[in-house]
Amino acid sequence: MLQTITINTREHSEMIDITSLIDQEVSKSGIKDGICLLFVPHTTAGITINESADPSVRLDMQTVLGKLVPWKDSYRHLEGNSAAHIKSSIIGSSVMAIIESGRLKLGTWQGIFFCEFDGPRSRRLHMKLQ
């Protein structure tokens, strides 16, 4: 089962907790035990699994990424968004989670985050369940 989800980002750079959205889609699918693959088909956005209990973790991650890859530097890419491309490669474009008893099997503190690095934009997220 392949599904495409639209995510509208609001900030230039943000990490959006999409855990409940993905869990709802898994529940609706009727799949009890399997795999959930999430893929972001964009070169300036990414996806990751990390702590969702404390929102300051997201802010810390964005702060460190901003220090490692500043928006303005001596980049050659003419479009002016090289930093977003680099951050997307660092974070990655896909994650996989186990489905058990019809729910995502994440750790106690884990959540799934859509990472925007060149927004705001309307983005797509492909979800493959099996």
Q: What is the CATH number of the domain that holds 58?
A: 2.60.120.460
Write out the residue range of the structural domain in which residue 68 sits: 2-129
What number of residues does the chain have? 130
Tell whether the model's pLDDT for residue 70 goes beyond 90: yes
In the sheet that holds 94-100, the strands lie side by side as 2-8, 122-129, 34-39, 94-100, 103-104
Please report the pLDDT score of residue 1 as a whole number. Answer: 85
The total of structural domains in the chain comes to 1
Residue-wise pLDDT for 28-64, tens only, equals 999 999 999 999 999 999 999 999 999 999 999 999 9
Residue-wise pLDDT for 5-24, tens only, equals 999 999 999 999 999 999 99
- DSSP run (H or E) holding 100: strand 94-100
Average pLDDT over the chain reads 97
Its pTM surpasses 0.75: yes
